[in-house]
């Protein structure tokens, strides 16, 4: 069918690349391009004997538009799948514009010096992408990503109007370390140490970090404490789901994680402001990342399950209705299949599916789009087929 250039070769990219290689009918050729080429070469060596997909590798600095343009012009992909860090979103979008190539990512742009993710920078590309006749699909991970698809599916099949959405992200996995993060530590800690917020009646309500706590009994996992966080899909769903009154996002954290995080914050280790150390500028959070376990190394040690989904409340045929859509994913099953834990798996699979739907033209319109703006049905079918089957509950326990 076609060619995909994948930028980044970390935890999420590794899963997406395994999945592309299982799907050779669509991904005939892939180019893995990242900052550290040896990681791309190691993955190629592992996967090439197992797949009909032809794998190429390259070194690239994705902060450099000219380097990206040169590589895209050489490989001529149908789509660029950005699985580097949120800081690279805009340079990669610029390179896609310059070469008229479709674009898919899993996380919205965030400037390096401000821990604040918003869609405004990427939405500002709408006209340019439309005029160039190319498609950008934003946030094709699990959350954001599948949560937007779930919302569009609920609206299409189960509601006339959705008034409340609670997104619940539960990781019941245990990696045995006192403190480690399940995806890029820098991005993860920036996210959880920021103020929380939720969307209500057309405006943001801001909270202190971890101020709002609830307990929920998750199927497949059990009872967990969860905390309200700001999350990027709240912004796009607030605009794209008609009749919406409130959207909240909750993530579970264990006590050990929170105690360590508080201590690291109190001593200044989570700061993103550069400091001078022995004559050299370092960013404390980047230094912390260097001493923490690499999320990619957690796979063999992590046991337990994740349960991520959305609880919807709204109206159908004049009646009040509730509906819960979720996926349960087993860390060890993921590890056996692709050598990664479930956090990378639940992001990497939707990343492959998003790239596939754009490449095959099933989800492809000129412009810049969020997940809930396309027909959810092909994505929902692909989730069942490619390893993230979903379950539904028509009488869920609600979050107060």
* Torsion angles phi and psi, residue 126, rounded to 5: -55, -50
Q: Does 13 bind ligand NDP (CB under 6 A)?
A: yes
Q: Does 309 bind ligand NDP (CB under 6 A)?
A: no
Q: Provide, rounded to whole angstroms, the least separation between the CB of residue 395 and ligand NDP.
A: 27
Q: Does 88 bind ligand NDP (CB under 6 A)?
A: yes
Mapped onto helix, strand or coil, the DSSP state of residue 136 is strand
Q: Among all residues, whose Cβ is closest to ligand NDP?
A: 10
**342 closest CA partner among 311, 376, 301:** 301
| Sign of the torsion angle spanned by Cα atoms 351, 354, 360, 364 | negative
CA dist., res. 111 & res. 101, Å (int)? 24
Q: Does 12 bind ligand NDP (CB under 6 A)?
A: yes
Q: Helix 146-157 and helix 342-359: axis angle, to 10°?
A: 60
Here's the x/- map for ligand NDP, 244-283, by CB under 6 A: it reads as ----------------------------------------
The half-sphere exposure of 89 on its side-chain side, counting CA atoms within 13 A, is: 25
Q: Does 236 bind ligand NDP (CB under 6 A)?
A: no
Residues binding ligand NDP: number (CB under 6 A): 33
CA dist., res. 104 & res. 6, Å (int)? 10
Closer to ligand NDP by Cβ: residue 135 or 349 = 349
Q: Provide, rounded to whole angstroms, the least separation between the CB of residue 134 and ligand NDP.
A: 21
Q: Provide, rounded to whole angstroms, the least separation between the CB of residue 360 and ligand NDP.
A: 21
Q: Does 11 bind ligand NDP (CB under 6 A)?
A: yes
CB proximity list for 58: less than 8 A, separation 6 or greater? 31, 32, 33, 37, 40, 71, 75
Q: Does 297 bind ligand NDP (CB under 6 A)?
A: no
Q: Provide, rounded to whole angstroms, the least separation between the CB of residue 346 and ligand NDP.
A: 7
Among 77, 141, 172, 284, binds ligand NDP (CB under 6 A): 141
Q: Does 160 bind ligand NDP (CB under 6 A)?
A: no
Q: What letters, b where the CB count within 10 A reaches 16 and e where it falls short, cover 312-350? A: bbbeeeeeebbbbbbbbbbbbebbeebbbbbbbbbbbbb
Q: Does 8 bind ligand NDP (CB under 6 A)?
A: yes
Among 187, 234, 325, 368, binds ligand NDP (CB under 6 A): 187
Strands 2-7 and 27-34: parallel
Q: Does 86 bind ligand NDP (CB under 6 A)?
A: yes
Q: Provide, rounded to whole angstroms, the least separation between the CB of residue 261 and ligand NDP.
A: 18
Mapped onto helix, strand or coil, the DSSP state of residue 123 is helix
Q: In the range 38-67, which residues lie near ligand NDP by CB under 6 A? A: 39, 60-63
Among 85, 152, 180, 210, binds ligand NDP (CB under 6 A): 85
Q: Provide, rounded to whole angstroms, the least separation between the CB of residue 342 and ligand NDP.
A: 11
| Sign of the torsion angle spanned by Cα atoms 314, 214, 260, 113 | positive
Burial class (CB in 10 A: 0-12, 13-18, 19+), 90: middle
Which residues are at the interface with ligand NDP (CB under 6 A)?
Answer: 8-13, 34-36, 39, 60-63, 83-86, 88, 106-107, 139, 141-145, 183-184, 187, 295-296, 347
């Amino acid at each position: 069918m076609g060619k995909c250039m994948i930028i980044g070769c970390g935890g999420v990219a590794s899963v997406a690349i395994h999945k592309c290689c299982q799907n050779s009918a669509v991904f005939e050729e892939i180019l893995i391009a990242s900052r550290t080429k040896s990681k791309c070469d190691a993955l190629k060596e592992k996967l090439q004997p197992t797949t009909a997909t032809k794998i190429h590798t390259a070194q690239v600095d994705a902060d450099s538009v000219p380097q990206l343009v040169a590589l895209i012009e050489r490989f001529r992909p149908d789509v660029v799948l950005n699985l580097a860090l949120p800081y690279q979103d805009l340079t990669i979008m610029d390179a896609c514009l310059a070469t008229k190539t479709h674009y898919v990512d899993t996380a919205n742009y965030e400037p390096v010096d401000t821990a604040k993710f918003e869609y405004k920078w990427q939405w500002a590309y709408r006209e340019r992408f439309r005029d160039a006749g190319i498609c950008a699909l934003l946030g094709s991970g699990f959350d954001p990503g599948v949560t937007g698809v779930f919302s569009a599916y609920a609206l299409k099949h189960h509601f006339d109007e959705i008034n409340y959405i609670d997104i619940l992200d539960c990781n019941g996995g245990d990696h045995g370390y006192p403190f480690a993060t399940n995806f890029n530590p820098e991005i993860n800690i920036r996210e959880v140490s920021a103020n929380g917020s939720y969307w209500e009646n057309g405006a943001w309500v801001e909270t202190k970090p971890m101020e709002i706590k609830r307990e929920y009994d998750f199927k497949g996992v059990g009872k967990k404490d969860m905390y309200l966080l700001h999350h990027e899909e709240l912004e796009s769903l607030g605009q794209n789901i008609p009749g919406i009154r409130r959207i909240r996002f909750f993530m579970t954290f264990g006590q050990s994680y929170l105690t360590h995080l508080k201590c690291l914050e109190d001593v200044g280790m989570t700061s993103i402001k550069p400091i001078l150390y022995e004559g050299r500028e370092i960013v404390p959070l980047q230094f912390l990342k260097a001493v923490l376990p690499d999320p990619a190394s957690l796979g063999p040690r992590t046991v337990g399950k994740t349960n991520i989904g959305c609880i919807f409340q709204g109206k159908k045929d004049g009646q009040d209705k509730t509906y819960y859509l979720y996926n349960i994913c087993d860390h060890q099953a993921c590890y056996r299949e692709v050598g990664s834990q479930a956090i990378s798996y639940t992001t990497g699979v939707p990343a492959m599916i998003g790239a596939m739907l754009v490449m095959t033209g099933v989800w492809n319109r000129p412009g810049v789009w969020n997940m809930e703006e396309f027909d959810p049905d092909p994505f929902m079918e692909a989730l069942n087929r490619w390893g993230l089957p979903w379950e539904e509950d028509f009488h869920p326990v609600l979050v107060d």
